Structure 1
């Protein structure tokens, strides 16, 4: 599901799994992630941001919502910038999540795979990661602010981080 709500009075949006939400300041977007990734892209001068709640690393040709997979979410996010008349040069990326929620130490560590896939998709798009809070074994509550491009990350038993 994609929600492009750039001219709305709604200043807060909850971004669920597979969703991508866009908006101008003063909009804030929120997501709750475990092994998923909350990826925020921001244009600082135009105060426009897009937040994706990415569930899996690779679409492997599967259909469905582009927000579900790292390899399809990043191109869709860039498309949303262009559709809103916002240039895609000089974007910054911030991400949070990618936790190992179930204590697995085997080959199926989806959180790690998600972090790697998002990093690869961003490199391919020429977007630098300005900050991240990834890994560990705890879920995170994320707030992404379109005004400053800040990502506020809260996790149980941990101090709040501002990226």
Structure 2
């Protein structure tokens, strides 16, 4: 157990022959008590300051850990956002490619249908043209034959 200023102040020494001067010893002990009290106060103040500094240090360690955790979370979040953005971009690209392919397929189908319709119209036009030519030829033949018939009729009437 450490000695306190009160222990020093209350300490009684035996008196012996040819011992120390009692007044001088008491004055010295009083000086020691004062110095010890001062040192104890300073020690207590230093302990308080040390405790406060340790609390501050702990606060800064906690703050550092919080900042580190926040940084890790931010990095993870950024990575997740980046990954999600890449995934979404790939999805958009894939959907666009599929849509473009569908549009191309539709256009090709439309071209094929129109080509088929055009071919059909050409065939119908050829059939119509051939029929028209045949009809015109028949009409022409008829006209030519009717003209002959009328001349023959007129000639036979004139001969009669």
- Judge same fold: TM > 0.5, yes or no: no
**Greater strand share, 1 or 2?**
1
Q: Report the TM-score when normalising by structure 2.
A: 0.17
Q: TM (normalized to structure 1)?
A: 0.17
Larger RCO of the pair (alpha carbons < 8 Å, separation 6+): 1
* Bigger CA radius of gyration: 2
Which structure is higher in helix share?
2
